[in-house]
Amino acid sequence: VPRMLVLCLLSLAWLSEGSQRSEPMFTAVTHRLLPPDYDSNPTQLNYGVAVTDLDADGDFEIVVAGYNGPNLVLKYDKARGRLVNVAEDERDNPYYALRDRQGNAIGVTACDIDGDGREEIYFLNTNNAFSGMATYTDKLFKLRNGRWEDLLSDEVNRDVASRFAGRSVACVDRTGSGRYSIYIANYASGNIGPHALIEMDVAASDPARGIVVLVDVATQAGVNKYTGGRGVAVGPILSDSASDIFCGNENSPNFLFHNWGDGTYRDVAAAVGLDDPYQHGRGVALADFNRDGRVDIVYGNWNGPHRLYLQSGARGRVRFRDIATPKFSMPSPVRTVIAADFDNDQELEVFFNNIAYRGSSANRLFRLIRREHSDPVMEELNPGDALEPEGRGTGGAVTDFDGDGMLDLILSHGESMAQPISIFKGIQGTSNNWLRVIPRTRFGAFARGAKVVLFTRHSGAHLRIIDGGSGYLCEMEPVAHFGLGHDKASSLEVTWPDGRVVVRAVASSEINSVLEVPYPLDAEEPLMPAPLECGQGFSQHENGRCVDIDECTEFPFVCPRDKPVCINTYGGYRCRSNKRCSRGFEPNEDGTACVAQVAFFGGYPSAGSWPRPPPSALLLVLGLCLCIYAL
């Protein structure tokens, strides 16, 4: 009996904690890579983090928005094995202007606005203002005359410089030209401070001579909205290739700006179930969590339920439904949200970066485990040292500093307490395979907004978006990072915002490496596409691309007699019984029963539209009953 009692108590402890794994995902390496000091990691209020290559040497720099101190440009020094701030406090330093001590920077983004193949840096400043008018303009820095200079300070651009308080900024190639616009999520006060969209006026500019004339095209593009703008993500969410824009807002519904293909937008958030009008959005990330070839959205709400929306439905009838479990959706003072494969096991993780607000608030980490013909399982993981219960989290990003194929996590802190930046390294899955893909624009810059699909031999297709925004106040690295586990990559497909597509094989010798994919300048398609291995569930089309095999058409009798109805899925198929249901109901996954169809009320999926796991309280009661019975 005592042994049974011990087993029961252990079982109850497991149930009370859920299925959180004990192995830590991250270990802190701040002391080694970025020890706190005055020059490279000052104890100050920091906010947004962006990843780019400022010096075009092929290695990434980390740009950090400093609020009550300088902006930082952190570069990995291979010889010293640590990060150093190259924006030194010396006027003859080429990065000196990027420090901008006068600005209270919170948002930052990087992209090529003028088509010179180099990314510019935009800092959103919020001096002396929570909303409405600010007392200091934003900055848009370009490498010119061997130094970084502010384009918004040029005489021709003084009327364009934003003087509004805002939050996130993001990059969008709205017309597929390879030149990017800066989307600015201003925080309006009444009718002061609409969202802005700044881009280069091509006809009036001469980039070769350093003349870049800027114009705000928000009204023309249809995005000049007044709201409490917060998080922004950019990519082909609804479009096949064109860049759409998702905005998580505060005190008003979210926006999903659908690109009509000509660079103009229409907000369809309410129509597709993403408006979430009574919550307060923060960090957001785009990913394909169930590997059905569609872009899904995960975001955090400030002290409200966090969301994980899966996209479904045919073209013109797209809907998003929230599959977040009670544990995943648990309210927290969330800031940045990151979706990435930290342990290279082919399953995506979601990292919630919280700020210690009126008490401790630890960061949280979940793995999304794909299930065939069902929603992903959400498994809570142990973040290890990245838990940071007392961290004043304000921003974060991922990249691979040292080229070992494991993603490194960078977290900034600020707002209510000055804290240095933290660096963490993943320590799980170090023996797993990986592949990193970097698409380029026609000008040679990073192709933000591009879509990359990697086909594997055994696990189907994996989709990544080179997001022009994401996180909160942040911008992730311009890389499609794929964890492969022990699988092999067979081929990949890159789609640019203008619809151009490149498909290519992936050789076994290219596994565990970084692949650069140049923009296809030659418009002519090859007469005979090179043969590709597309992997399980896919085959090569005559146009050279890997496409889903329709097993139901190709193999009409693939399903058994007791489940004769074949339903084609992305990379596979499923069989169900020929169950007939009354109006308003539909067969469940295996066709054994009729269930209510997914219904949406005011943008929310109805609570009874799909099964949820039993609450932990119920599990505890059941476990206690079993223990009593056993004793």
* Amino acid found at 62: I
What pTM was estimated for this model as a whole?
Answer: 0.89
Phi/psi at 319 (5° precision): -135, 150
In the chain, % of residues over pLDDT 90: 73
Residue 588 to residue 577: CA distance in whole angstroms? 10
Distance of CA 309 to the CA centre of its chain: 13
First-last CA distance in the chain: 6
Residue 289 to residue 349: CA distance in whole angstroms? 9
Residue 148 to residue 1: CA distance in whole angstroms? 74
Kindly report the CA angle at 44 between 43 and 50, in degrees rounded to 5?
A: 105
DSSP one-letter string for 364-411: EEEEEEEETTEEEEEEEEEEEGGG-TT-BEEEEEEE-SSSSSPPEEEE
Note the pLDDT tens digit of each residue in 121-146.
999 998 776 676 677 899 999 999 99
Helix (H) or strand (E) holding 525: none
Note the pLDDT tens digit of each residue in 392-420.
999 999 999 999 999 999 999 999 899 99
| CB neighbour list of residue 374: distance below 8 Å, 6 or more residues apart | 589
For 208: left if phi > 0, alpha if psi spans -120 to 50, otherwise beta; the answer is: alpha
For the chain, domains (ranges, CATH) are 2-439 (2.130.10.10), 451-547 (no CATH), 552-595 (no CATH)
Give residue 585's pLDDT.
84
Note the pLDDT tens digit of each residue in 19-30.
556 799 999 999
DSSP one-letter string for 308-375: EEEEES-TT--EEEE---HHHH--B-EEEEEEE-TT-SSSEEEEEEEB--SS----EEEEEEEETTEE
Looking up tokens 């009874």 gives 608
408-413 and 393-399 beta bridge pairing? antiparallel
Q: Which three-class secondary structure state does DSSP give residue 98?
A: helix
Low-confidence ranges of the chain (pLDDT < 70): 1-21, 129-130, 132-133, 523-527, 589-590, 597-631
Distance of CA 201 to the CA centre of its chain: 29
Residue 313 to residue 189: CA distance in whole angstroms? 37
- How crowded is the C-beta side of 303, counted as CA atoms within 13 Å? 6
User: Per DSSP, what are the bridge partners of residue 187?
Assistant: 228
Q: Are 458 and 452 in contact (CB under 8 A)?
A: no
Give residue 618's pLDDT.
43
- The beta strands (E) that lie in 461-513 are given as 461-465, 480-485, 489-495, 501-505
Give residue 601's pLDDT.
32
Phi/psi at 195 (5° precision): -60, 145
| CB neighbour list of residue 523: distance below 8 Å, 6 or more residues apart | none
For the beta carbon of residue 252, count every other beta carbon within 10 angstroms: 17
Give residue 446's pLDDT.
99
374-384 and 24-28 beta bridge pairing? parallel
The conformation of residue 77, written as its DSSP 8-state character, comes to E
For the beta carbon of residue 338, count every other beta carbon within 10 angstroms: 26
Q: Are 259 and 174 in contact (CB under 8 A)?
A: yes
Residue 243 to residue 237: CA distance in whole angstroms? 7
For 271: left if phi > 0, alpha if psi spans -120 to 50, otherwise beta; the answer is: alpha
Looking up tokens 């005055």 gives 38
| CB neighbour list of residue 225: distance below 8 Å, 6 or more residues apart | 194, 195, 255, 267
Instruction: Sort 382 into a burial class: Cβ within 10 Å, 0-12 / 13-18 / 19+.
Output: middle
Q: Are 181 and 199 in contact (CB under 8 A)?
A: yes
Exposure string of 65-99, with b = 16+ CB inside 10 Å and e = fewer, is bbbebbbbbbbbeeeeebbbbbbbeeeeebbbbbb
Give residue 187's pLDDT.
83
Residue 170 to residue 185: CA distance in whole angstroms? 8
Q: Which three-class secondary structure state does DSSP give residue 108?
A: strand
Distance of CA 279 to the CA centre of its chain: 20
Q: Are 250 and 208 in contact (CB under 8 A)?
A: no
